Amino acid sequence: MYGLPGLLCTIDQKGTAGDIALPSSSGSPSEAVVNIYGPQGLRRYLRLALALSRSHMNYTYAVHELILRDEHRPAGWEDWCSLEADPVRDPPLHCERPGRDIHADSDGFWYNINRPDDMGISVHSMALSHTIPSLGWLIVHPPKPPALCVETARMLGVPDGPLMGQLKKGEPVVVNGQTVYPDQVLKTAVRGHRVAIMGDSYDSSELERLLLRLADERKISQATLDVLVHEATLQDSMREEARTKGHSTPTPVVQLAAQLKARLLILTHFSHRYTPIGRLDTTQGNGTTKASEKGKPSLQILLEEAKSVPFDGEVILADDLALLPIPAVPMSEVISA
């Protein structure tokens, strides 16, 4: 959360979020260009951070807060400062637009928090076990229907036009007295991707309950994942210290990934006590190792611990700005599983 105000200011300076150019307006005075989702209290935090730093942004934003239930609140909740902004002392900024207060269902989960767009992508959320409110996010893509291989259809004599459309709908067509069947020209249907991104947590077992609930309601075909992004702050021998601080170690995270049959596990949020893999030999101009890295253990420890746990998927350590492809899952694999 500390980096969020700076990130928003950087986006303002560049006019882009990564490769995505920000529109000059949202199309409606009451709607925001950038929409931010997070736990209750984020709206006030961001408003104060931007106000006190006198950050004047040229685009609009809105914070949509997931309202916490009693069971989501950590111990000592009553002693905290107010999560609500004072409308008199802390009024909305000129660049801020009204955000939604999103309440959890009776089962404790937040469903479809993003109001699925035209692409059919839905985002669900769950509370995680941490020392402060922390959330996990499940992103579900819709299945992709079989795509038409136009070149194959043309080779079989099918002309461009209505007959191509019939084949795409799964209907056979007759061309020059020969029948062309859909399975000759349609590619395999693909199941929509499922990606779970967990915030700080020492126990993310609620993710499994959410997946099972979605599967029971036929919102997804199976309670499985393609990608799980999860923290592993310290090594297994420091599990008690990690838990006290609300964090995880590799072994239980890999066990969760295995339980959910994840295809890829990305570990992240490493303690600064570890040196990135391959950087132990980092030297200064005089050939000596940097003092800040002397005696530090390597992240290789966490990777080896993770890979020692039975798991059919792949385990990697997160790297800033890395782009990772998510392999498609044919519907035939879903049906046979």
Which domain CATH number covers 283?
A: 3.60.15.10
Residue 284: what pLDDT? 37
User: Based on the domain organization, do 7 and 73 belong to the same domain?
Assistant: yes
Q: Is 106 helix (H, G, I), strand (E, B) or coil?
A: coil
Give the least confident one: 16-20, 80-84, 296-300: 16-20
Residue 294: what pLDDT? 66
Is pLDDT larger for residue 119 or for residue 54?
54
Range of the domain at 12: 1-103
User: Based on the domain organization, do 222 and 284 belong to the same domain?
Assistant: yes
Is pLDDT larger for residue 149 or for residue 85?
149
User: Based on the domain organization, do 219 and 266 belong to the same domain?
Assistant: yes
Number of domains in the chain: 3
Mean pLDDT over residues 134-157, rounded?
92
Check whether 208 has a pLDDT greater than 90: yes
Find the radius of gyration of the CA atoms of the chain.
24
Residue 31: what pLDDT? 83
User: Based on the domain organization, do 80 and 211 belong to the same domain?
Assistant: no
User: Based on the domain organization, do 289 and 336 belong to the same domain?
Assistant: yes
Please give the Cα distance from 185 to 40 (Å, whole number).
Answer: 51
Mean pLDDT over residues 167-183, rounded?
92
How do residues 273-305 score in pLDDT, each as one tens digit?
999 987 544 443 444 445 456 678 999 999 999
User: Based on the domain organization, do 25 and 138 belong to the same domain?
Assistant: no
User: Based on the domain organization, do 328 and 210 belong to the same domain?
Assistant: yes
Check whether 55 has a pLDDT greater than 70: yes
Q: Is 50 helix (H, G, I), strand (E, B) or coil?
A: helix
Of all residues in the chain, what percent carry a pLDDT higher than 70?
A: 89
Burial grade of 275 (CB within 10 A; 0-12, 13-18, 19 or more): buried
Those residues whose C-beta lies under 8 Å from the C-beta of residue 193, and which sit 6 or more positions away, are: 139, 140, 141, 226, 227, 326, 329
Please give the Cα distance from 60 to 87 (Å, whole number).
Answer: 19
Please give the Cα distance from 102 to 99 (Å, whole number).
Answer: 9
User: Based on the domain organization, do 77 and 34 belong to the same domain?
Assistant: yes
Please give the Cα distance from 180 to 295 (Å, whole number).
Answer: 68
